[in-house]
């Protein structure tokens, strides 16, 4: 049985924590192949240009910014054509890769600023934007829990919403966000006349930014927790 089959996607959500310090241990060919297959799928579905870089130590070396990294030798370059939906798509599909990495026994961390661009290692075309990077590898530890908002603070209708909605919000609260800001909100809209339940996801203002990317990450978590068949997005 492969590593990926030993951890469900829900277990990956619960086990994942941001890790910034990594040990020197190469990714196996099998793990690289599984990551690359998922990257290809995400690029096709999301219209992105995500690239996996392995055995490269310059991007995260000596960068003094939020959450100092060390030992990063592998990372995902999160890029795509510039448009109004890019950051949300980066968040959604990037988190698919983060959760796969967790299932494969790896650790990860989203990085909005804590990296430097490296020439001739990856390609970002003129009409594309390098939105962020995701460090990945074998962490010195498995990370730690952080303080979280409550379901009531990030959603409506707690008393009337079905159980699947609450499970979706709970999963969203486990999603990584910039400086743990959790500036997202889920609105339950009850089904009328036998129609499908609807959910509206929105983002709140933040001086830090990255809320659109955070929303994409949180929406993926919500879908996994709630079950995509139970609702449709507004």
Q: Which CATH architecture is the domain 3-137 placed in?
A: 3-Layer(aba) Sandwich (3.40)
pTM > 0.85? yes
- Report the pLDDT averaged over residues 94-104: 98
Question: Closest by alpha carbon to 203, among 56, 65, 88?
Answer: 88
Topology match between the domains 3-137 and 151-233: yes
Question: Closest by alpha carbon to 166, among 108, 107, 222?
Answer: 222
- Report the pLDDT averaged over residues 92-102: 98
The CATH class given to the 151-233 domain equals alpha beta
Between CA 68 and CA 109 the distance in angstroms is: 11
Helix (H, G, I), strand (E, B) or coil at 142: coil
Q: What digits encode the pLDDT tens for the residues 100-136? A: 999 999 999 999 888 989 999 999 999 999 999 999 9
Which residue ranges make up each domain of the chain? 3-137, 151-233
Between CA 111 and CA 108 the distance in angstroms is: 10
Q: What digits encode the pLDDT tens for the residues 15-34? A: 999 999 999 999 999 999 99
CB 144 within 8 A of CB 18: no
């Amino acid at each position: 049985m492969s590593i990926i089959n030993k951890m469900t996607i829900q277990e990956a959500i619960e086990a994942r924590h941001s890790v910034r310090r990594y040990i020197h241990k190469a990714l196996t060919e099998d793990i690289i192949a599984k990551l690359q297959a998922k990257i290809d799928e995400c690029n096709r579905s999301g219209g992105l240009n995500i690239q996996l870089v392995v055995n490269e130590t310059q991007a995260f070396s000596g960068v003094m910014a939020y959450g100092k990294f060390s030992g990063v030798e592998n990372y995902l370059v999160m890029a795509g054509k510039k448009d109004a939906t890019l950051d949300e798509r980066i968040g959604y599909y990037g988190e698919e890769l983060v959760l796969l990495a967790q299932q494969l026994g790896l650790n990860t961390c989203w990085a909005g600023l804590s990296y430097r661009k490296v020439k001739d290692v990856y390609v970002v075309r003129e009409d594309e934007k390098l939105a962020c990077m995701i460090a990945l590898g074998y962490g010195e530890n498995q990370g730690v829990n952080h303080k979280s908002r409550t379901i009531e603070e990030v959603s409506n209708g707690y008393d009337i919403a079905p159980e699947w909605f609450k499970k979706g919000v709970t999963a969203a609260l486990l999603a990584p966000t910039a400086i743990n800001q959790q500036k997202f909100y889920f609105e339950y809209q009850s089904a009328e006349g036998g129609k499908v339940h609807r959910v509206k996801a929105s983002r709140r203002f933040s001086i830090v930014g990255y809320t659109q990317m955070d929303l994409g990450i949180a929406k993926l978590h919500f879908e996994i927790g709630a079950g995509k068949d139970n609702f449709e997005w507004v």
